Structure 1
Amino acid sequence: MSTPDAIAADEAEASNKFSFMAAVSKTPKKIQFADDMQEFSKFPTKTGRRSLSRSISQSSTDSYSSVASYTDSSDDEMSPRDKQQTTTKGSSDFCVKNIKQAEFGRREIEIAEQEMTALISLRKRAQGEKPLAGAKIVGCTHITAQTGVLIETLCALGAQCRWSACNIYSTQNEVAAALAETGVAVFAWKGESEDDFWWCIDRSVNGDSWQPNMILDDGGDLTHWVYKKYPNVYKKIRGIVEESVTGVHRLYQLSKAGKLCVPAMNVNDSVTKQKFDNLYCCRESILDGLKRSTDVMFGGKQVVVCGYGEVGKGCCAALKALGAVVHVTEIDPICALQAW
């Protein structure tokens, strides 16, 4: 038999062998999903499409609280600045995404307290003395469960606090709600616009019958705003605490220009910040951010880390633990030798 004839015979045999599958595929049984259709009909037609698409598409990147907030799309569409919200005690001196998330935020703060024993010990030791009585602190930091522990510690020691967010993406909405419920004037929510950002800072500074005498800043935006918009308030500030490279750079600029008439503390260059936060915290937070934003495996990836200071050391350790092939660039010979 010639080769073409052999191929034709094989094809005919295979066709006969699997002909029953073709018969089955031609007459599929129609399956009714009556129960499923009834379930779908329960969703409100006005908001169902948007709330479902938002919760599904963003569930991998948003926090639990942010996804939960999409269940009521009418609230999601409305800016927090346009909402009328009050705490259970009747206070409305705040602006958060959803005050109803306060209970969940309280649980997150309580979990963070377990990891922040120094602040909790300070509360127990000094809250009876109220060493910060008279301090009116306006703050602008990331609003997370950990920052919540700090803010509540300041309040427990006698300070009055008003707060805004230094980053438009990092705010945990449920934590902001929990702080507002306890009486802290918080103006922050995840996904602020630039106009919202400056509006929140202004509201934190410009409270009714309240004038700050201390600034706790992360990035220098709050200090810059007070300096530019409220010069009379700026002159009466007793102290500034700044915890970022950018903010410290701004303070040095003010100092060189002879305009820093306020005592300022450079937290960014403190030993604990450099040796603990930069090394141990950044190696978790930076990698966590990369994994959330890229959603890829790092095992086997070729990764370049620019710089082998404390932050670089922590990141390299985390990347190596994930199985990445790590390359380091460094201009300091000692740090380069450490990396090698």
Structure 2
Amino acid sequence: MPEAAQHVTHQGVPRAFAQGNLDVMKVIRSMVDQISHGPRLHVRRISGGGPDMNIHEKNSLVEAGRAALNAAIGDMPMLAGIREEIARTQPLKGERIAGCLHLTKETGVLIDLFHAASTEIVWTGGDEVSTQDEIAVLLSDRGITVFGWRNMLSNEVETALKETLNHFDDGPTIIIDNGARLITAALDEPQRFPSLKYMTEKTTEGCAKLRERASREDIPFPVFLVNEVVTK
């Protein structure tokens, strides 16, 4: 008889009570495991960190993430059109993308586009609170490596940044950044990233940091300053 079933009679009465066993807390824990949670699978909420969860919690987040992502795709028809084209032509096939950008449903649309283009992807949200767990779990469920979850600690954010940049054995070929933290780390040790082709930076602060650095030294990789694009 399975261990969990040994605690319950065929009428559903806890066997410990039927036998006069007064270990009430043991019985309660057994009943909670059977009724409320089901088997614990120790599935990591997001690759590389986050609290454990059971299969019911994971499935619930995946479904919520799929609904949120589909809603965002409906609001972003331009990216949806690009995704269709890029999935057919595969211009980015084999590229290794390291991203640091808020893990929201909108960013999920961009990541899904890259995934359709047969790229390898590792991503972090870059801060403590902007990550939508349902999006992070959905992407992880689709085979994308994600370092980030909602309500991270500051030291966990920093660790996630390092894990993202160091994920690929040969380094990323593309960096998509928010705050120039991945880019700065790559510029500090350019010999470690011989395959890096180009990078993008989103924020005003990050763009200013990179312009200031470029005034003092050559930047060996092309950097696209998204914040300065007129149509941003």
Judge same fold: TM > 0.5, yes or no: yes
In 2, Cα distance between the equivalents of 1:251 and 1:115? 32
Equivalent position to 1:130, from 73, 90, 97: 90
Give the conservation status (yes or no) of the 8 Å contact 2:171–2:195.
no
Q: Closer, same or farther in 2 for the Cα pair 1:255/1:235, shift >3 Å?
A: farther
Judged with a 3 Å threshold, the aligned counterparts in structure 2 of structure 1 residues 112 and 96 are, in CA distance, closer, same or farther, namely: farther
The partner residue of 1:248 within 197, 203, 207 is 207
Mapping of residues 231-242 of structure 1, within 5 Å? 231-242=190-201
Change in Cα spacing, 1:187 to 1:110, as seen in structure 2 (3 Å) is: same
Identical amino acids, percent of aligned pairs: 26
2:64 aligned with 1:104, yes or no? yes
**Residue 215 (structure 1) aligned to one of 175, 199, 216:** 175
2:43 — aligned with what?
85
What secondary structure is seen at the aligned counterpart in 1 of 2:136? helix
- What are the superposed Cα offsets for residues 174-215 of structure 1, whole Å, 9 maximum, x if unpaired? 111111001110000112222101111111122254520110
Asked whether the equivalents of residues 161 and 184 of structure 1 are also in contact (C-alpha less than 8 Å), the reply is yes
Aligned to 2:49, the other structure's residue is in SS state coil
Equivalent residues of 1:235, 1:261 under 8 A apart? no
Alpha-carbon displacement from aligned partner over 1:113-168 (angstroms, at most 9, x marks no partner): 10011111112223121111121110000000010010010111222110011221
Match of 1:139 among 99, 104, 113: 99
Amino acid paired to 1:85: V
Partner of 2:118 in structure 1?
A: 158
* Residues paired across the two proteins, number: 192
Greater share of helix: 1
Q: State whether residues 136 and 214 of structure 1, in contact with CA within 8 Å, keep that contact through their aligned partners in structure 2.
A: yes
The two structures have a TM-score, normalised by structure 1, of 0.52
Q: Secondary structure at the match of 2:43?
A: coil
- The corresponding residue for 2:49 is 95
Distance 1:208 1:157 in 2: 18
TM-score normalised to structure 2 length: 0.74
Cα deviation, 1:204-244, whole Å, max 9, x if unaligned, reads 1222545201100011112123334x432345421011110
The answer to whether the 8 Å contact 1:137/1:213 transfers is yes
Cα separation, partners in 2 of 1:231 and 1:84, compared to 1, 3 Å = farther
Distance (Å, rounded) in 2 between the aligned partners of 1:166 and 1:240 = 16
Choose between structure 1 and 2 for higher RCO, CA contacts under 8 A separated by at least 6 residues: 2
Contiguous gaps of at least 5 residues in structure 2: 1-27, 30-35
Residue 267 of structure 1: how far off its partner (Å) = 0.7
Question: Which residue does the alignment assign to 1:263?
Answer: 222
* RMSD of aligned residue pairs (Cα, Å): 2.7
